[in-house]
Amino acid sequence: MSLFNIKDYHVQDDTDSTAAIQQAIDDCEKAGGGTVYIPSGTYQTGPFALKSNMTLYLDAGTVLSFTDDFERYPVVKTRWSGYVCYGFMPLIFGENVTNVAIKGDGVIDGNGQAWWKVNAQLRKGENFQSPKTEEIAEANKDFTEPADTNLVEWSSQFLRPPVIQFFEAEHVTISGVTVKNSPFWNTHLVFCDNVSIQNVTFQNPSDTPNGDGLDIDSCQNVRISACHFDVGDDCVVLKSGINQDGRHYGVPTKNVTVTNCTMHHGHGGVVFGSENSGGIENVTVTNCIFDGTDRGIRIKTNRERGSYIRNILVQNIMMDNVLCPIAINSFYRHGVSKSNPELLDAAPVAVTEKTPIVEHINISHITARNCRAAAGFIYGLPEMPVRKVTIEHVTLEMTLDETVPGGEPDMVREVINMAGEGIFAKYVEDLRFHHVEVKQRKGAALQLHNAKRIKIDELTSTNQNEQEPVLIYEDTEELHLTGHESNLQKAGEI
């Protein structure tokens, strides 16, 4: 095995190591492959690029500490918030590479604080401009699609980078390391095939803007296992490009497994979308723990995304202290064109290539306790209901503490605030509940609105209020109920 120890490249303590690391990587490539070894110690560095047939190995006690000097980051082609465009180079970048790995027990620190500060300025309406953002703007001058959205950074072209990004790569492995304090998303894989991510710790402060843990974006054959997430946004996110740009590339995320992971804090445990315009399908999520994530399993899309989210299997999940354990939302109100009010209109619109399809979702053997807003939330489109969802062998318990605030189970066209309530479903078809227990603090165990072909087999409510019905429904067709009479006698209609 060819080993390239960066200590052999005259790295000095308290000096910049970028040139030494990149030279070791380039020498490894020239030798036909091998391992670039970074022994224990703290190394100040700027961005660098990985090459094919190599392993970057960080020994225990190693810290790669990245610069926050924005001008040191070259402008590269990337995918940013769903759009293929130009932006700051990711801190560790692997473009058009194959058979490449990042391994070890070391820490990769993105030092994102300065990047977050600029984002906060932009959110306040303040301006930011630098030679590098002007260079990015020049590279993106012919790309105008995002200008009509609510992306806060597009006008400034301060398009923050992830810590790690693989772009158009094959046979990628990330194992053992800790990745933290990302300027933007933590780790981002785009147009990749055959990916293994295992035993990785993803860390971002709770207030990190857009501080996702792991974003899988138009990738196939991905295995994620035994990872830990404690981040400021979604933990694991599956995406495939946004709107017309995403449909133009048309590369789905498919054949993905997420297993044996722990999610401690974050906006969502495992999230699908909202950038799903290339399609998302054939995904399993199993044997995970979500502790303190806002939502547990979350699917979100809207009238601009089009394509599909389908063939999703979720089972054996334990959740605690989540806002809403299951949220499926085709009417997501963020990331839509500001100039088109039809996108958030309550009336049905014509079905086109922009209409998203959400179907064939199977969720089973879930236990969720101390939930705050709703036990579940499913909201389709009037012109394209969410279809063929099965929820079975599930226990969903709301917190009984009335001082704990609720909130929005998900961000649909209108604001729906809930607290301690059951499952809410609107614009759904072929929805099946089997052995579902709901312990709500108030209201019905299940509300159905604009629903069709609903089958309920053993829906149990443990609400202590005898006056509350188990089921409330309106504008519902072909409702089939089976189970113990005691579970159904409270059923009512509004």
Quick one: how far is CA 317 from the chain centroid? 17
DSSP 420-469: SEEEEEEEEEEEEEEEEEEE-SSS-SEEEEEEEEEEEEEEEE--S-TTS-
User: What is the total residue count of the chain?
Assistant: 494
C-alpha–C-alpha distance, residues 254 and 240, integer Å: 10
Distances (CA, A) of 206 to 37, 235, 239, 272, 321: 32, 11, 22, 20, 16
Q: What angle do CA 178, 181, 184 make, to 5 degrees?
A: 115
Phi, psi of 71 (to 5 degrees): -70, -10
DSSP 326-375: EEEES---SS--TT-GGGG-SS-----TT--EEEEEEEEEEEEEEE-SEE
**Do residues 67 and 45 touch, judged by C-beta distance below 8 A?**
yes
Amino acid at site 52: S
Q: What angle do CA 380, 382, 385 make, to 5 degrees?
A: 40
Q: What angle do CA 207, 211, 216 make, to 5 degrees?
A: 160
**Do residues 398 and 441 touch, judged by C-beta distance below 8 A?**
yes
Neighbour tally for 59: CB within 10 Å:
13
List the catalytic residue out of 188, 265, 267, 360: 267
Distances (CA, A) of 70 to 86, 114, 130, 406: 15, 9, 9, 39
List the catalytic residue out of 212, 217, 233, 410: 233
- CB-side exposure of 449: number of CA atoms within 13 Å? 13
Reported as type and span, the H/E element at residue 4 is strand 3-5
Q: Is 267 a catalytic residue?
A: yes
Nearest to 425 by CA among 324, 283, 307, 304: 324
**Do residues 18 and 45 touch, judged by C-beta distance below 8 A?**
yes
Known catalytic residues are 233, 267
